[in-house]
């Protein structure tokens, strides 16, 4: 996903703009991924977390972040351990992403009544099984992001 | 091959995963499936996989609906199984701390069986507004569903959803209402689903706007039993963007929808159309002022092949940019500054 298309609503015209990535490491094209957005408290960055999906018949389990306004892709260390597609991602408490159901294995869609929920810590970029909630939680930009783009 | 199976052949050749997969299961076991259904419990299991959509969110509580399950014989867990459309609306409560290893079951604070009149929809669309959950479009599959009396039915769901179903999110057991067809004008059919969806608004206060992009529907009619149904076989894909604002009466969604064409001929780069992902990037991060942009990425273009787009799409809403051209990342950043 190397290109950005910009649509001007006023003129109904499309524009094309490339994204960037370190070491030419762009996320593979995919279908059926899901995403949430984390907004820095100072609005210095808006980070789109993209998880999972299918690329040419293969489940992609990775978690990528497209940080705006630089439109720069950052690859997290999350791998294929919870790969799935056709799922939904929802941000809760500004700090966690709930990954809900989807196809965990291509070629299977059996009931997984007690395995459909996974949680990602949006700051540490890790899968967690515990979600500790406190009052007035805020979104914190992952170190991997602010080291790449600066600020916090 | 019967007519229903014939339709799934169409699906097989025109859709990628997971419908392709489901069709494989279904066609191989369709006759056995219907026979075996009489041995299934009267209530289908409160569990389904893709694409069980989270359709609403309020105060860290999620609501999910749709999807399907492959049911297999207890004595042959590796067998082909039966595709069974999910019949439940789930409420998942993440308002307090959670330990998945201890609290998993308690996350589901309610599992409500949809009334039989509400179609079991896959890849549908949703609108969350004024504490009302509204479902429309999507693929009403031929997967059998178990009715509340324990019998099964697979009739009259061989089509895309063309009506709006609404319920009060606080009382999902009752009060489901069927409203008039979403696309009563006939100028554009509601997407079969596989449209990219994004919620722009303040979900905690039950206010918001639904955006959806792309999707498709089955263009040619098909006869099922003695009835002619309006869509199957020929997949027509969309690449336009819809905005359904939240300022109108739930029963009048059709009256307040807005369509923003994104099929401009000026755009000569192939864009994603189905199974894309879209998010609303809100300026303030709280959805309160409807200022921000949509980002759309991925998806496939051709019905028969999973050809992922190499593009990522950004749609600026409430913008007034009138640029002659955009060249270089610097201008993108300039645009961003201009917007925010």
Q: Which domains does chain A have, with CATH numbers?
A: 25-149 (2.120.10.80)
Which phi and psi (to 5°) does residue B107 adopt? -60, -35
Q: A residues 78-117 near B, CB within 8 Å?
A: 85-88, 90, 92-93, 96, 98, 100-104, 106-114, 116-117
ipTM reported for the complex, 2 dp: 0.91
Q: Which residues of A touch B44 (CB under 8 A)?
A: none
Residues of chain B found within 8 Å of residue A112, distances taken between Cβ atoms = 47, 49
Instruction: Identify all chain A residues contacting B53, using CB atoms and an 8 Å cutoff.
Output: 88
Q: What is the pLDDT along chain B (340 residues), one digit of tens a residue?
A: 232 223 332 232 233 333 323 322 222 222 223 333 333 443 445 555 555 677 778 889 988 877 776 666 666 666 666 667 777 788 889 999 999 999 888 898 877 777 776 766 666 666 666 667 777 666 655 566 666 666 666 654 444 555 667 777 666 555 677 665 554 444 455 555 677 888 887 778 777 777 777 776 655 554 444 555 444 445 667 777 777 665 555 555 444 455 554 443 333 445 666 788 888 888 787 777 767 777 888 777 654 334 444 444 454 443 322 222 222 333 344 344 444 4
Residue A148: CB atoms within 10 A of its CB come to 16
| Cα diameter, chain B | 66
Element (H, E) at B31: helix B19-36
A54 touches chain B (CB under 8 A): yes
Each residue's pLDDT tens digit, A82-119: 888 888 899 999 999 999 888 776 655 556 666 688 99
Is the CA virtual torsion B281, B284, B288, B292 positive or negative? negative
Find, in chain A, the residue whose alpha carbon is nearest to that of B61: A92
**CA distance linking residue B226 with residue B59, whole number of Å:** 48
Interface contact B264-A39, CB threshold 8 A: no
Distance, C-alpha A84 to centroid of its chain = 13
Specify the higher pLDDT residue, A79 or B321. Answer: A79
Q: Do A5 and B314 touch (CB under 8 A)?
A: yes
Residue with tokens 């369509």: B259
Contact A17 B326 (CB under 8 A): yes
Check if A136 contacts B (Cβ < 8 Å): no
Q: Which residues of B touch A103 (CB under 8 A)?
A: 17-18, 49-50
Verify whether the Cβ–Cβ distance B49 to A32 is below 8 Å. Answer: no
Number of domains present in the structure of chain B: 1
CATH value at residue B18: 2.120.10
Distance from the Cα of residue A122 to its chain's centroid: 9
Inform me whether the C-beta atom of residue A39 falls under 8 Å from chain B C-beta atoms: yes
Question: What is the predicted pLDDT for the residue at B203?
Answer: 78
Q: Of the candidates B267, B63, B243, B123, which has an alpha carbon nearest to the alpha carbon of residue A31?
A: B123
Distance in angstroms (rounded) separating the CA atoms of residues B20 and B9:
9
Decide if A103 and B49 are in contact by the 8 Å CB cutoff.
yes
Q: Using CB atoms, which residue from A6, A8, A36 is nearest to B279?
A: A36
Answer yes or no: do A119 and B332 touch at CB < 8 A. no
Is residue A57 within 8 A of residue A110, CB to CB? The reply is: no
Interface mutation vs chain B, best among A31, A50, A84, A140, most B CBs within 10 Å: A31
pLDDT band for position A126 (cuts 50, 70, 90) = very high
Mean of the pLDDT values across residues A56-69? 88
Q: How many CA atoms lie within 13 A of A53 on its CB side?
A: 27
Q: What is the pLDDT of residue B98?
A: 95
Is B312 in Cβ contact with A8 (below 8 Å)? no
Which residues form the domain of B185? 3-339
Residue-level pLDDT at B214: 75
Distances in Å between the alpha carbon of B214 and those of B67, B189, B238? 20, 11, 4
Spatial CA neighbour of A106 closest among A151, A47, A53:
A53
Q: What does the DSSP assignment read for B264-293?
A: -TT--S----BS-EEEEEESSSSSSS--EE
Contact B332 A71 (CB under 8 A): yes
Residue carrying the six token digits 């916090």 = A152
Residue B101's contacts (CB-CB under 8 Å, 6 or more residues apart) are: A129
Omega before residue B220 within 30° of 0, cis: no
Name which residue leads in pLDDT, A122 or B157: A122
Task: State both tokens at B289.
Answer: 């002022």
CA distance B129 to A85: 27
Which residues on A lie below 8 Å from B284 (Cβ)?
39, 43
**pLDDT > 90: what percent of chain A?**
49
Q: Which of these ranges, A36-45, A99-108, A142-151, B131-140, has the smallest mean pLDDT?
A: B131-140
Do A54 and B280 count as a contact with CB atoms less than 8 A apart? no
Contact (Cβ atoms closer than 8 angstroms) between residue A12 and residue A44: no
Q: Reading across the β-sheet that carries B139-140, which strands appear in turn?
A: B121-122, B139-140, B159-160
Structure tokens at A100: 């809900």
Encoded tokens for A142: 């992952």
| DSSP three-state, residue B34 | helix
Q: How far apart are CA B149 and CA B8, in angstroms?
A: 28
Other beta carbons less than 10 A from residue B91's beta carbon: 18
Beta-sheet strands, E only, within B114-161: 121-122, 125-129, 132-136, 139-140, 145-146, 152-153, 159-160
Distance from CA of B228 to the nearest CA of A (A): 31
């Amino acid at each position: 996903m190397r290109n950005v298309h910009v649509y001007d609503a006023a003129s109904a015209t499309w524009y094309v703009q490339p994204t960037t990535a370190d070491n030419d490491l762009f996320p593979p094209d995919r279908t059926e991924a899901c995403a949430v957005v984390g907004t820095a408290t100072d609005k210095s960055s808006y980070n789109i977390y993209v998880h999972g999906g299918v690329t040419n018949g293969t489940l992609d389990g990775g978690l990528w972040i497209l940080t705006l306004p630089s439109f720069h892709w950052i690859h997290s260390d999350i791998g294929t351990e919870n790969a799935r597609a056709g799922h939904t991602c929802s941000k809760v408490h500004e700090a966690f992403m709930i990954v809900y159901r989807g196809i965990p294995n291509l070629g299977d869609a059996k009931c997984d009544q007690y395995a459909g929920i996974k949680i990602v810590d949006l700051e540490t970029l890790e899968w967690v099984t515990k979600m500790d909630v406190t009052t007035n939680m805020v979104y914190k930009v992952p170190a991997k992001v602010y080291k790449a783009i600066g600020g916090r | 091959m019967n007519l229903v199976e014939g339709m799934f052949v169409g699906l097989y050749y025109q859709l990628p995963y997971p419908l392709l997969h489901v069709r494989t299961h279904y066609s191989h076991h369709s006759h056995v499936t219907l026979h075996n259904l009489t041995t299934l419990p009267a209530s289908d299991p409160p569990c389904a996989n893709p694409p069980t959509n989270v359709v609403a969110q309020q105060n860290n509580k999620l609501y999910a609906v749709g999807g399907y399950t492959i049911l297999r014989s207890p004595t042959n867990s590796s067998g082909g199984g039966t595709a069974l459309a999910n019949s439940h609306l789930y409420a998942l409560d993440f308002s307090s701390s959670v330990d998945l290893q201890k609290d998993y079951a308690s996350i589901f604070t309610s599992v409500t069986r949809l009334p039989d009149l509400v179609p079991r929809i896959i890849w549908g669309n949703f609108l969350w507004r004024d504490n009302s959950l509204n479902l429309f479009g999507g693929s009403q599959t031929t997967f059998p569903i178990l009715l509340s009396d324990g019998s099964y039915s697979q009739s009259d769901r061989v089509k895309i959803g063309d009506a709006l179903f609404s319920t009060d999110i606080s009382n999902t057991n009752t009060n489901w209402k069927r409203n008039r067809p979403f696309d009563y004008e006939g100028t554009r059919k509601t997407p079969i689903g596989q449209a990219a969806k994004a919620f722009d608004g303040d979900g905690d206060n039950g206010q918001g706007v639904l955006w959806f992009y792309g999707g498709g529907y089955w263009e040619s009619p098909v006869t099922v039993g003695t009835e002619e149904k309006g869509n199957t076989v020929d997949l027509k894909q969309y690449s336009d963007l819809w905005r359904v604002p939240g300022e109108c009466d739930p029963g009048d969604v059709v009256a307040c929808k807005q369509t923003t064409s994104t099929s401009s001929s000026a755009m000569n780069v192939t864009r994603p159309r189905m199974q894309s992902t879209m998010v609303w990037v809100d300026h303030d991060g709280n959805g309160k002022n409807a200022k921000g942009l949509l980002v759309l990425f991925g998806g496939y273009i051709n019905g028969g092949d999973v050809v992922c787009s190499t593009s990522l799409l950004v749609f600026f809403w409430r913008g007034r940019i009138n640029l002659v051209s955009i060249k270089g990342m610097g201008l993108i950043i300039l645009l961003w500054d201009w917007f925010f």
